[in-house]
Structure 1
Amino acid sequence: MMNFIDLRSRLASGEFDFLIGLVEDEHFDAKSGKYDLIGESGKLELAKDVSSFANRSGGIIVIGAKTTDDPAFYGRRIDSVSLFPFNLINPTDYHNIIKDWIYPRPENVDVDWIPSKDESDKGLVYIFVPDQPENLRPFLLKKDVDPSTNRRRKEILFGYAERVSHSSDPVTVEAFHLMVRHGRENRWKEDIGSRLAAIEARLSESPEEKERKKNLEQIVLPRVGRSVEAAGLKEHRTYSLVVSPVDSTEVESILSSTPDSIASLLEQPPPLRYAGWGMETGDRAKLIGGEIRRVKADEYKVLDLYRDGTLVFACRADEALLGWGNRFGKTRINPVALIETTYMFFKFYELVLARLEPVINEARVWVLFHNLHSGGEITSLAPHGVDSTSQITDFYKRDAPENDYVGRVRIEIQNFDASRTAVLILREIYGWFGIESDKIPYLTTDKAAIDVERIKKLSL
């Protein structure tokens, strides 16, 4: 995927066929038609989208590109382009709404109509939001709309939106409150983090390695709860993975933020493919209590790396992430999302292992699901891949037998292989749902490893 600056340059050529097949992400949004600026809701939608890019690191909105959900990609994919005449959109109206609805006003936002090379009287519109100076953030919505009347609210209030993956959903009041508290009470949070880290350190320290092994689960599992809470996932259906060394060790460079540090890898984890499921959050790696590096996308996912080599990941197990693009909505897990996410977690841990000193011999892995019976709706999983008949009918689906689940696997680190380790975890997951291991899709012929090349080809 090209970056949003290059995408703008490509649009200027007037050749738009390259848009077909592109997938929305944290820097790119597609709209099939213009914003409805007659009603207040359309103005709010425009302001929300622009401010969400401004609160991240910029982006581009293309108007005239229709998208569809595709279970092979994490994001909506463009399947057609609809050109329209120059006079259908007035850029001045868009600029006025951005000025009136967003505070402070984002700098150098560009709204432009680009004529088609083949039909000069028709074209597309883009809204380009460059990366903004840090001292201007956050960008707040000065107005809100009552959905029951489509009229502007008169109460004193404001809103906040931040682009996460392919979505510009507004941040909840509770989440924004936590963000403000993080800024205003940084010393308090650091103090609490230091105390928790000190308690964990005391629990982790034992005269004998045998004692550490005995207490490892009691040390590690509470960390999952803290990660889930930190990302605002507690009330959602969640999927979590944890890997922790049995031996005492330490992550080198965890206190550093240099380009070659582990913090940089957390901020920009290597992807497997275009628009796939991975560890990316778009966040800066925060140092907490001198013991944890954290990146998170609030109410989507979180990745915590501890100084002792423990890696904790948690994400939504509904339509926001693991259930994305599924024809059966938020309660059916997308097998591509589950398998690719699991593999990418262990692929990232390969990078962590290279930075552990001393090297370790053994680790333990936990897999957890939470809230799978939430609201009386039960999360389900079906065998085989996204294109199989088992995914387009309820007949083959298997419901989660309980609301919560914890599975455990012990792994040897010598010759560690992310692909084979992921399969060990997937066997536990599919087995818990009542599905035989030979029905797990996207595996090699011997069913012992992830068929990585097959997953990569989903983006071709």
Structure 2
Amino acid sequence: MCVGSSSMAADSMVQLISYLTAQKPNEILGTPESEWVDFKSVPPSGPYDLTTDKGKFELAKDVAAFANAGGGLIVCGFKAKKRPSELYEVAEKVTPFERKVVNTDSYKDVLNEYVRPLLKVKFYWYDHPAADPTASGHYFVIEVPALPESERWALVTRGITENGQFVKGSWTVPIRNGDTTVYLRPDEVYQLVNDGLRTRRAPDAAPTPAADRVRSREDLRVTLGVEETPVLFFQSVPDHPRGIVSGMYGDGGLRDVLTHQSTLRSPYGFNWSSDYKRPEPREGGLLLAEPPRRGLLVESDGTVTAAAAATTDMLGWAMERNSSSEGRRISVFVLTEITLEYFRLVDQHVLPLVDGTWTHRIVASEFTRPPARTLAPGDDPTFPLLGSPQPATSNDWNHSWKALGEPERDAYEALRHIYALFGLDITANPFLDTDRVSTAKLLETK
């Protein structure tokens, strides 16, 4: 498969990652550098020459700058250039490269030493199309999370001279501004220090969870008639909603997507599709509900809320053949597949409708209501369900993360939080491949 010659440009982190995942790097050409993306070509020494102080500073500076400006991506393997008609540099050429020029352990060491606070930066590799006769290799992406307001600002613990040498005892606070990096001035740093001291003297205030649509979950619970039932909710909310999403009801719009879902199995599998229900208009959005088992609500601004009952009709499918079992056991297979199916639907078809970052959330409600819901490590055992199931430890388990935009990775993050509810590590799930859910392993299960 050759890389096409046309370019569409990516207008969000989610879309850019989706192009790399689909091995369509040329679709990224024309994308301008901005507050959320920086492109780097790769000389023989790699994107950053970590054998020099200058290279170490550049890496630390770029990562800290994105953390201070809402998070972003450093995408290595693209040459960027400013065109006469453009305000910013744009990706104009793909330059994939060999993995050997990047040692991710060295990158982690530099960031751990020279950036404060410590950031949960992630590294990802993406393949260039193998059949392209003009180029070969890989693309390297550094994903930088945004720092919460309560932890601002990230700083680099060394300054640097014009000759590219570290200056001991100095530090700097970089901020991504458009396609460039600026630095806090001394008077701004002074003001921040004094503001921080005043805040410390004030009573502590509890932070409000970001993008938490509690009412949407409760409305869906009532619609499904599961007010007294343990329910697992999935929720995805744009961090910066922009009003009504266009094309909700048009040809090829979300209503068509929900009506004709591409699922791993038939509509009778563990997914959000239905063979006899159709999505209904609901206050500018869409509702697809099968009471009392499951339901999915898309609001007018793109927010998605889904609910799956933790009963033998849904999450506990075929798990209570042994009448002597205590509690209501959740099927590992059902839980994993319906989680992946949620993110296959939302990451691929909803997130691209609203530019910017999104927040995914899982909420396990009433899981300790007697009899408590349980989950066991490993695969679902055969009858009579031998194993060591662990009971849920909270009735209101609520956790969120910034959407990654890849279904397998977001499903992994969701399951990681769900497993912790039962005192289990995510590695106890048999359907994983390192940091993602494995579709192939799921499909092996009949």
TM-score (norm. length: structure 1): 0.47
**Larger helix proportion, structure 1 or 2?**
1
Q: TM (normalized to structure 2)?
A: 0.49
